[in-house]
Amino acid sequence: MFSPNGEKTGREPQWKKSIELQKDDATLRKIVDKNFKKNFSTQRKPRPDLIDNFHWVITRFRRMKKVTQEQLARDISEPVAAVQMAEQGILPEKDYILVKKLENYLGIVLIKEEKAKEQGENKTTEIKTLTFEPHNSKNLTIADLRRLKEQRKYTGNFSEFEVDFEEPEEEPTGNEKTEGDEENDK
């Protein structure tokens, strides 16, 4: 513990090291927040590529998950200042890294999908016929059903489809008699 000179020997207790690390971490966090705020203007600029009132959506979903700003920042590996500024409606221009992290963590969509809408408007709708035949329905896979569901989601309904339900033809089984069998029985 102590040397003959009265100096302390050995290692420092673990709790003292953790306190020093916490102090260092706090000062580094302050520096990161300060630099982050310097790099971005504090004025809210309209972002036409994001949904309207995206900052309200971020705040609402964060609160629904019962997560603080500090916890959210730690979980997505961003400074607390970034989360605070995003909730105020201030985001860096054309930088989608923070937006994607928020979308993935909160399970929301912040970026408008205008490209999908534009492509949908340019397409001409053609009538497609869906037939449900017994031999085809046996080959129907879950992937086919999911594809149909996705098509229905984008169109809103199946009104563009003309559905043709065909009655299956009855095949004779071994128990039924045909006309030729009846004559042979006589």
Identify the CATH number of the domain in which residue 95 sits. 1.10.260
Read off the pTM. 0.47
Q: What is the pLDDT along the chain (186 residues), one digit of tens a residue?
A: 556 666 666 666 666 667 777 777 778 777 777 776 666 656 677 788 889 899 999 999 999 999 999 999 999 998 888 899 899 988 877 778 999 999 999 999 998 876 435 445 555 555 555 555 666 667 778 888 888 788 777 665 555 555 555 555 555 555 555 555 555 555
In total, how many domains does the chain have? 2
CA atoms within 13 A on the CB side of 140: 14
User: In the structure encoding, which two tokens stand for residue 39, read together?
Assistant: 């790099």
Closest CA to 86 of 51, 123, 54: 54
Range of the domain at 81: 14-106
Asked whether residue 179 is domain-assigned, the answer is no
Instruction: Return the half-sphere exposure (C-beta side, CA atoms, 13 A cut-off) of residue 14.
Output: 0
Is residue 4 a part of any domain in this protein? no
